[in-house]
Amino acid sequence: MLAWRARYRDRPPGLKLNLLCGDVYLDGYINLDVSSREFAFRIDPFYPKLPFPDNSVEFVYWNQGPEHVASVDAMIQELYRVSIDRAEWYLETVGWKDPNSYGDPTHYSHWGIRILDFYTKEGNGGRRYPPARISFERTGSDEGTLEWKCVVDKPGNLPPAD
């Protein structure tokens, strides 16, 4: 088990997503996937739209799923839209130099260690993709498994009132 995975599977109450979960259902999470199997919600890998209101999600567990989305930017922007300020995301995927990245025909995107830099305050070489803003810690390499622990930055936004 990788460094952060165990810690993030058991989260406190709140709206939590298990994104592109395959056959791995997590209790207490809303489980979503791209497959035709029965899930609470289905995600279109080409036009990802999450069926949740703005500022409603506290945590996203996205384990071995990022590579199954065709538009990384569309998915990150959609996650940002539904996340509350300071929401946490755990992402894990294969690096683009790992042969497994290309060995599965449902891997539509290939992730490198700098892919999320575009969504930080500093950007990637000064380039940023607004409006999403996150900060993160990263482990892994392009040759193997990559992990990110992200925190959403939405200054001025608060979760919806009960």
Taking alpha carbons only, the member of 15, 10, 8 closest to residue 83 is 15
80 within domain boundaries? yes
Counted domains in the chain: 1
18 within domain boundaries? yes
Give, for all 162 residues of the chain, the pLDDT tens digit.
344 444 445 545 569 998 877 777 888 888 887 765 555 566 777 888 888 899 999 999 988 888 888 899 999 999 999 999 999 999 999 989 998 899 888 888 999 999 999 999 999 988 998 899 999 999 888 888 999 999 999 976 544 444
Domain range for 46 is: 13-84+118-143
100 within domain boundaries? no
For the question of whether the overall pTM of this predicted structure is more than 0.85, the answer is: no
Strand order in the sheet with 16-18: 41-42, 30-33, 16-18, 57-63, 83-94, 145-152, 134-140
Amino acid 22 reads G
